[in-house]
Amino acid sequence: MSYMVGQCAILINTCPKYKQLAISQIILLRRYSEELKWPIFIASTGFLQEEIAYLESLNITVIVQTEEDGSDFIKSRIHALKLLPAACAHVLALQDDFLVDRPVDYVSLDKTLLVMLYCPDVVGCRLMPCPPPKGSFFKDAWQIIDPTPDCYFTFQATIWRRQWLIQFFERMIELAPDLHAKWPDFTRNQFWLLANPCERDTGMRVAQELGGFQIGWPRVGPWANAVYKSPWPYRPTAIEKGVLQPWARELLEREQL
């Protein structure tokens, strides 16, 4: 990858429960995507000193969060985003279970960052077409993501304008008390993960209010493994309802992780 190396950070947010899975994700990136030059950050509570030392040996920046910083699923993301270097105007936001066991598409990543640098109204570019974009084509390579109540905003691998993403999450925090009241039996993080307002109609409305538009790489076909033809080729997702899926367990065993 050659263009604007300092312009985009890769941020993996995790938690103590899934921290080892996130570290495995990083090992796979270093193993199979050696030419990946964008700086990588991992943020969580509960890091051990030996884990920090190991990650730093892989040239990973560790953001150690306090319980206050990291206890809330969305607030922890805001905290980490604000600590990224000022030069990183863009961020590739990843979950802890995006296991990439093959090279990423460096050319497509460069093209994505360039189009966002030269088209300021593009606030996000979805690298994982799940769900795929269905709007009109944009500059031949991408499709516009039309606003819908189902995953207009998504936690799947996406390059975002960092300040836009911070504003999105901050607005969701403002709306959370009234929304959470509809699910009184949920803890705060159960609300974020199970009610999932960010990826539903509330998230769509907030994204529209903030302005700009999103684009995405088209999905090459309807078959399940078409996801591996995306710029950030992983299978969504390794954790479902708190359980590591059999295919992910087999992948980790195969990779001796």
**CB count, 10 Å around CB of 255?**
14
103: left (phi over 0), alpha (psi -120 to 50) or beta: beta
Tokens representing 188 are 């705060």
Query: Which of 122-153 are b and which e, b meaning 16 or more Cβ less than 10 Å from the residue's Cβ?
Result: bbbbbbbbbbbbeeeebeeebbbbeeeeebbb
Taking 50 as the threshold, does the pLDDT of residue 16 lie above it?
A: yes
pLDDT at position 6 is: 59
Q: Is 80 exceeded by the pLDDT of residue 2?
A: no
Is the pLDDT at 218 greater than 80? The verdict is: yes
Check residue 5 and give its pLDDT: 54
Cα(32)–Cα(102) distance, integer angstroms: 5
Mean pLDDT of the chain: 94
Six-digit token pair at 30?
């270093």
* Mean per-residue pLDDT, 183-206: 95
Q: What is the dihedral of CA 27, 93, 195, 97, to 10 degrees?
A: -10
User: Which H or E element spans position 142?
Assistant: strand 142-144
Q: Does domain 5-254 have CATH number 3.30.230?
A: no
Contact predicate 32/101, CB 8 Å: yes
Q: Give CA–CA dist 253/241, Å, rounded.
A: 21
**CA gap 119, 138 in Å, rounded:** 11
Token pair in block for residue 89: 């105007």
Predicted confidence at residue 1, as pLDDT, reads 46
